Chain A
Amino acid sequence: DAKTTQPNSMESNEEEPVHLPCNHSTISGTDYIHWYRQLPSQGPEYVIHGLTSNVNNRMASLAIAEDRKSSTLILHRATLRDAAVYYCILRGYGGSQGNLIFGKGTKLSVKP
């Protein structure tokens, strides 16, 4: 699976939007972009994934650049509960069934 690059940490104020960037310049044409997050003392939680088009779900939105070399996870109104480490991961066609490879991720802090 190709490599991703994320900022180590970001800060946000409660009830403001948060844009979490991810660079993946070596992405292949069939790689899906997945986002997970991990709250303190909990297991990772799936957030969203996409291939080419922007995606929305009840948790977040995923904006994918036209060249697919970067993407942005958007939390529309941050809450204190959104404070977590966010991971951007690429998963490819025919890739292994297992082995989600989590990098260091972005630690998001949310201030009241």
Chain B
Amino acid sequence: DVKVTQSSRYLVKRTGEKVFLECVQDMDHENMFWYRQDPGLGLRLIYFSYDVKMKEKGDIPEGYSVSREKKERFSLILESASTNQTSMYLCASSHLNQRGNQPQHFGDGTRLSIL
């Protein structure tokens, strides 16, 4: 079975802190994704990566950056955390999706609270 592991289930940080969220997958997937999920807004894509050191902005990249130094690991960085970044953060991975037939596999999520 595919395993996508997020480093923390719950995290509490303070405004202005630099926050790192880590994600590791064990299926040799090319693609990795970071989403946030908020009530009434569904999932929104922050960034994704299709290869090591490659990244693409999603719908809401402002205030975030990412790092992919190894194929299995994708990090989301909140450069200076703000209260409007309080959310559930979800990491996902998949094989390359040229035909639309590749499922994404998700981690359990990190519920991040910024005080």
Contact = CB atoms under 8 A, between A and B. Distances in A.
Contact of B97 (A41, A91, A103, A104): A91
A104 B39 CA distance: 11
Nearest to B35: A100
A98 B106 contact: no
For chain B, give the interface size range. 20 to 34
A30 B106 contact: no
B17 interface: no
Interface stretch (A14-22, A43-51, A62-70): A43-51
Given A42-B109, A43-B90, A92 B42 contact: no
A29 to B, nearest CB: 12
Contact of B104 (A30, A41, A46, A90): A46
Given A97-B50, A99-B45, A43 B109 contact: yes
A98 B103 contact: no
Contact of A94 (B42, B45, B50, B98): B98
Contacts of A104: 42
Given A43-B90, A44-B90, A100-B43, A95 B105 contact: no
6 contacts: A43-B4, A49-B103, A97-B94, A97-B97, A98-B45, A101-B43
